[in-house]
Every structure is written in C-alpha cells, then in structure tokens.
Amino acid sequence: MMKQALLYQKLPEKKVRCQVCSHFCLIAPKKRGLCGVRENQKGKLYSLVYGKAIAVNIDPIEKKPLYHFLPGTHSLSIATVGCNFRCLNCQNYDISQGPKPDKPILSQEMPPEKIIQEALANHCPSISYTYTEPTVFLEYALETMKLAKEKGLKNIWVTNGFMSPQTLKLIIPELDAANVDLKSFEESFYQKYCGGQLKPILANLKEMKRKNIWLEITTLIIPGLTDQEKMLKKIALFIKKELGAETPWHISRFFPEVSWQLQNLPATPLETLEKACQIGLQAGLKYVYKG
Ligand code: SF4
C-alpha cells in the first residue's frame, strides 16, 4: 500500500521538501529522496515502504543493544529497506542501500496490526524499529508504535539520531527507549563516511534525554577512523554532561568482512576497545560495555 508521507511541504512546479530527517531533501516529480523510499508523485510525497517489512525477527533485547531496558526479554524487531545515511561500514547494506536511487522495494506485506499480533503471540514486551533507519519508515513505525502502546508494549528505536525535530516531536509520545549511534564527534567523519551531519544528532540526543526517553549510546571503533583517544573522550564527556553518567555506552568492534566498504581496514584490536572503555570510565560514565 502506498501511503502519503507525513511532514512535507508542497512547493512550486510540483516539487516537495521532505521534513522527516535532517537532510530536508528537495524532491522533483518522479524522484525519490536520498533514502530511496520517499517518492514525489505528481507533487505529493509518498512513503514506498508503509507496511512493507524486509526483516521481522525476534531478538534478545541485548542485541539492540539495550542492556538496561527490559533485560532478559525478547523484542520483536522490524525494518524496511532504505536509510538516510550511506555509512561505508554498514553491516546491513543490502537492505539499507537497496532502494537507492530508484531500485525496486523488496518486502513482505506486514501491516502494523500483524506486527502487534506477532509480538503478543511470541511474548515480546517490546517492538524494535531497527536494522536500517526507522526515520525513513516513519509512517509505518508511528502507526505501529501507537497500536503497540495501546496494547501495553514498549517501543524502541535503534537509530542514527538524524531525524528532523518535527519527526522527533511526533514519535516522542510513543517512544520508550532508544539506542542511538554516536559514530564520531567530528563533522568531517559524518560527512565523508556516512553522508550525514553530527550537529542535529547531538541536538536530538539532548531532546530525547529531556523527554525522559531511556537512552543507550553505541560507538563503533573503526581503526584509523574513529579510534582517536581525544575524539572518544569528547563523546564520553558529552554523554556524561548532557545525557547523564548512568547512560550506558556500548563500544563495538569493527569487522571488515561484514562491512559494506572499508574492507582494507583491520578488525579493531582488542587493546583499542579496552582503551576506549577506559576513556569512558575515566570520564565518569558508570556503564561502559564492550560489544
Ligand atoms: S527521510 Fe530524509 S533522506 Fe528520506 S526523503 Fe526525507 S529528508 Fe530525504
């Protein structure tokens, strides 16, 4: 089912401006935004992935990773194709980059009601919007979140945090917890390796904290790219100051064999992971985990 998109502006010459993520794509008729799953058809913007799951799994919540939210439970985890980033280290690139710029949308029909039924039938107390970037399937996620809430299920986003302020405002009443990637503390890394920007992510993190969303942060340590001690210290201090010392920080290991690109880099040495953990603890974080 094609669904008219939320949060867009109609412009002259049947162009539209999508306001779902901080790219704010200007989209001409018959074209899609950067995520590959929002298309301008005759001056109206449509989501191409509403009700179209590419992945539906029952995962331990620790795999999100969330270590301090409903520990020991399973979370019904869903994704559609598409992503607003193009991280060179992506581990789900077949589905995240699949629909760009105009490739077919691969999926199975999975309306929101069915997701709720699956979660309840499998005793999952939460639903995770994950694997790719939930921001780009906002309409689908939001509808599912509302139904989930009615049934007493919790909603979890695993996200790059690059949604627009408008999107964040829409989801916050339904959102219980999030694991947000903080990939680097350098704008240049986000631009060069992800096709994104750091600043909106930091603002969104602060806002989520202000709205009492349970937050856990993940940083992937890529040798030579995101392993500088000074930079990691900045991340740790940001978490401590803005999100609180009790916010868990997950330090994860890069493996070239599962990476979209960057296969020429080595796996993260264990000493580097250990060093990053020490940086977190020294900055005053209470919970630093090696993934
Ligand atoms: S969600 Fe982001 S990337 Fe996709 S069309 Fe909208 S602004 Fe562009």
Q: pLDDT, tens digit, for every residue of 84-114?
A: 999 998 988 888 998 888 888 888 899 999 9
pLDDT of residue 1 exceeding 70? no
Q: Which long-range contacts (CB under 8 A, 24 or more apart) does 8-15 make?
A: 8/45, 10/43, 10/44, 14/40, 14/42, 14/43, 15/40, 15/43
- Cα(172)–Cα(188) distance, rounded to whole angstroms? 29
- Cα(147)–Cα(90) distance, rounded to whole angstroms? 30
Question: What SS3 state is found at 145?
Answer: helix
- Cα(80)–Cα(101) distance, rounded to whole angstroms? 15
User: What's the 275 CA to ligand 1 centre distance in angstroms?
Assistant: 36
Question: What SS3 state is found at 24?
Answer: coil
Q: What is the DSSP string of 243-286?
A: I-TTS-EEEEE--GGG-SS-TTSPPPPHHHHHHHHHHHHHTT-S
Q: Tell the residue nearest (CA) to atom 5 of ligand 1.
A: 33
Whether residue 65 is preceded by a cis peptide bond, meaning omega within 30 degrees of 0, is yes
Task: Tell whether ligand 1 has an atom less than 6 A from the beta carbon of residue 136.
Answer: yes
User: What's the 97 CA to ligand 1 centre distance in angstroms?
Assistant: 13
pLDDT of residue 248 exceeding 90? yes
Average confidence (pLDDT) over 245-268: 95
Of all residues in the chain, what percent carry a pLDDT higher than 90? 91
Closest C-alpha to 177, from 13, 7, 61, 33: 61
pLDDT of residue 142 exceeding 70? yes
Please write the tens of the pLDDT for every residue from 64-78: 999 999 999 999 999
Whether residue 112 is preceded by a cis peptide bond, meaning omega within 30 degrees of 0, is no
pLDDT of residue 136 exceeding 80? yes
| DSSP run (H or E) holding 53 | strand 52-53
Q: In whole numbers, what is the pLDDT of the chain averaged over residues? A: 96
Of all residues in the chain, what percent carry a pLDDT higher than 70? 100
- Cα(247)–Cα(238) distance, rounded to whole angstroms? 11
Q: Which residue has the higher pLDDT, 97 or 287?
A: 287
Kindly state the tokens that stand for 284. 């005053």
Average confidence (pLDDT) over 154-171: 98
User: What's the 152 CA to ligand 1 centre distance in angstroms?
Assistant: 30
Task: Tell whether ligand 1 has an atom less than 6 A from the beta carbon of residue 54.
Answer: no
Task: Tell whether ligand 1 has an atom less than 6 A from the beta carbon of residue 163.
Answer: no
Ligand 1 atom closest to the CA of 21, numbered from 1: 2
- Cα(117)–Cα(73) distance, rounded to whole angstroms? 17
Lowest-pLDDT choice from 11-20, 171-180, 198-207, 260-269: 260-269
pTM over 0.75: yes
User: What's the 96 CA to ligand 1 centre distance in angstroms?
Assistant: 13
Looking at residue 9, its pLDDT comes to 98
Looking at residue 291, its pLDDT comes to 83
Q: Hey, which of 25, 50, 81 would you mutate to test ligand 1's pocket, going by the most ligand atoms within 8 Å of its Cβ?
A: 25
